[in-house]
């Protein structure tokens, strides 16, 4: 698709004269237009010149930083507090600033609990709380393949 | 920020020292004068302190802070931008010869006038993208608007600057 001079100028203004920062499709179309049309090449040169000029612009400054810090040295006003029950999402989401030890401690507790449950064979079947001894033995001897894939429907049909 | 939210004043003063130059610099570019810039920077930092318990860490602190500063600047429309032309900074290379220095000073003066004539939102977007180094998407987040709105502001601002600066850009285009 060919890019008109107007569209090129609009993109140069919106995205800057550094074509490497443009989306690939628009960059390719712009490069073709610039190679083909001297007016497009001139528009790119002018856009670069404007970008350079703006970037180099330094407004006049005086020692205002010190005055601001001096003003902030006065006693600070009271903060606006959030209701207590709305604070926990902020504290949970604040991964960058919250100390890591509470989360690490929680993870360690879960790990220890899991180990204890597995090691002491505390798992109890859901339901009555205990199986009859023969049912438990049968379950222990069951073929895991049969449990997973169901019994073979026609074993005698095999060669 | 959690410490500041908990009322830790020394933590706030550390943050204020770190972010105050950014606030003054941005506010100076957007409002166009030092007095307003100082007031905006001071007010922005006080707002950080006051609202710290309500801050949600969903966006970066810097983006949130840019937004406070820009909003405070935009609320100060009633004062006209003031850029002392004589005091315009001389960005000239110290090694350059006198003629070149004068040319550059003239360029800076013309640019300062052209930027001062822009509407404040256009000045804000120029300051964020060119001087704070934000992408269009980051500028949109700081201004609380869409990327396409930021690009529209940039297009309008640069069109106005091109009209004001005229042939100066053709001369600059010849330079490497």
Among the residue ranges A95-104, B17-26, B158-167, the one predicted with the least confidence is: A95-104
Dihedral sign computed on CA atoms, order B71, B75, B77, B79: negative
Residue A82 confidence (pLDDT) above 70: no
Q: Indicate yes or no: CB of A13 within 8 angstroms of CB of B158.
A: yes
Residue with the bigger pLDDT between A67 and B143: it is B143
- What is residue A134's predicted lDDT score, i.e. its pLDDT? 63
For A12, the closest chain B residue by CA position comes to B155
Q: Which long-range contacts (CB under 8 A, 24 or more apart) does B128-133 make?
A: B128/B26, B128/B66, B128/B70, B129/A16, B129/B154, B130/A51, B130/A54, B130/A55, B130/A57, B131/A55, B131/A57, B131/B25, B131/B26, B131/B29, B132/B22, B132/B26, B132/B66
Closest residue in A to B163 (Cα–Cα): A50
Mean pLDDT of B52-71: 84
Q: What is the mean pLDDT of residues A38-59?
A: 89
Whether B16 and B43 have beta carbons less than 8 Å apart is answered as no
Q: Where are the domains of chain A?
A: 5-55
| CA max distance for chain B | 58
- Cβ distance B52 to A72 less than 8 Å, yes or no, reads no
SS3 labels along B108-143: HHHHHHHHHCCCHHHHHHHHHHHHCCCCHHHHHHHH
CB atoms within 10 A of CB A53: 22
Tell me the pLDDT tens digit for each residue of A96-142: 455 566 777 888 899 999 888 887 776 665 555 555 666 556 555 55
A56 band by pLDDT with thresholds 50, 70 and 90: confident
Q: What is the pLDDT of residues B106-127, one digit of tens each?
A: 888 888 889 989 999 999 999 9
Q: What is the pLDDT of residues B135-145, one digit of tens each?
A: 999 999 988 89
| Model confidence band, residue B85 (pLDDT cutoffs 50, 70, 90) | very low
* Distance, CA of A14 to CA of A53 (rounded, Å): 16
Phi then psi dihedrals of residue A2, to 5 deg:
-85, 145
**Residue of A52, A69, A97 lying closest to B17 (CB–CB):** A69
CB A36 within 8 A of CB A43: no
Top residue of B15, B55, B57, B160 to mutate, by most chain A CBs within 10 Å, is B57
Q: Where are the domains of chain B?
A: 2-74, 93-173
pLDDT over 60 (residue B93): no
Residue B40: both structure tokens together: 């905006």
What is the interface pTM, i.e. ipTM, of the complex? Answer: 0.77
- A53-64 mean pLDDT: 75
For chain B, the distance separating the N- and C-terminal CA atoms, rounded to the nearest angstrom, is 45
Measured at the CA of B149, the angle between CA B147 and CA B155, to 5 degrees, comes to 105
Q: Is B2-74 a domain of CATH 3.30.360.10?
A: no
Query: With contact defined as beta carbons under 8 Å apart, do B13 and B48 qualify?
Result: no
Average pLDDT over residues A69-85: 75
End-to-end Cα, chain A, rounded Å = 67
pLDDT in tens, A116-129: 888 777 666 555 55
Which CATH fold would you assign to the domain B93-173? Arc Repressor Mutant, subunit A (1.10.10)
Q: pLDDT at position A104, please?
A: 77
- What residues in A contact B115, CB-CB < 8 Å? 54, 57
Mean pLDDT, chain A, whole residue set:
75
């Amino acid at each position: 698709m060919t890019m008109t001079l107007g569209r090129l100028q609009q993109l140069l203004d919106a995205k800057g004269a550094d074509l490497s920062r443009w989306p690939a499709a628009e960059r390719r179309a712009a490069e073709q237009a610039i190679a083909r049309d001297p007016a497009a090449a001139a528009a790119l040169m002018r856009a670069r010149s404007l970008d350079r000029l703006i970037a180099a612009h330094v407004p006049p400054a005086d020692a205002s930083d010190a005055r601001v810090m001096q003003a902030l040295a006065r006693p600070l006003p009271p903060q606006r507090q959030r209701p207590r029950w709305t604070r926990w999402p902020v504290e949970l989401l604040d991964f960058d600033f919250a100390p890591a030890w509470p989360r690490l401690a929680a993870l360690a507790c879960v790990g220890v609990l899991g180990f204890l449950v597995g090691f002491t064979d505390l798992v109890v079947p859901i339901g009555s709380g205990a199986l009859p001894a023969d049912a438990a033995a049968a379950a222990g001897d069951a073929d895991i393949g049969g449990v997973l894939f169901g019994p073979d429907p026609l074993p005698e049909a095999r060669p | 920020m959690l410490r500041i939210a908990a009322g830790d004043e020394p933590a706030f003063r550390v943050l204020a020292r770190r972010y105050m130059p950014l606030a003054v610099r941005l506010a100076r570019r957007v409002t166009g004068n030092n007095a307003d810039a100082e007031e905006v920077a001071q007010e922005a930092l006080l707002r950080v302190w006051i609202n710290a318990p309500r801050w949600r860490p969903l966006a970066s602190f810097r983006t949130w802070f840019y937004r406070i500063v820009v909003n405070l600047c935009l609320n100060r429309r009633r004062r006209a931008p003031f850029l002392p032309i004589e005091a315009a900074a001389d960005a000239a290379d110290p090694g350059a010869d006198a003629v070149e220095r004068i040319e550059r000073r003239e360029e800076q003066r013309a640019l300062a006038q052209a930027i001062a004539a822009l509407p404040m939102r256009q000045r804000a977007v120029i300051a964020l993208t060119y001087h704070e180094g934000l992408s269009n998407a980051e500028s949109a987040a700081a201004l609380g608007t869409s990327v396409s709105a930021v690009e529209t502001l940039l297009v309008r601002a640069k069109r106005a600057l091109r009209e004001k600066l005229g042939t100066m850009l053709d001369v600059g285009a010849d330079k490497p």
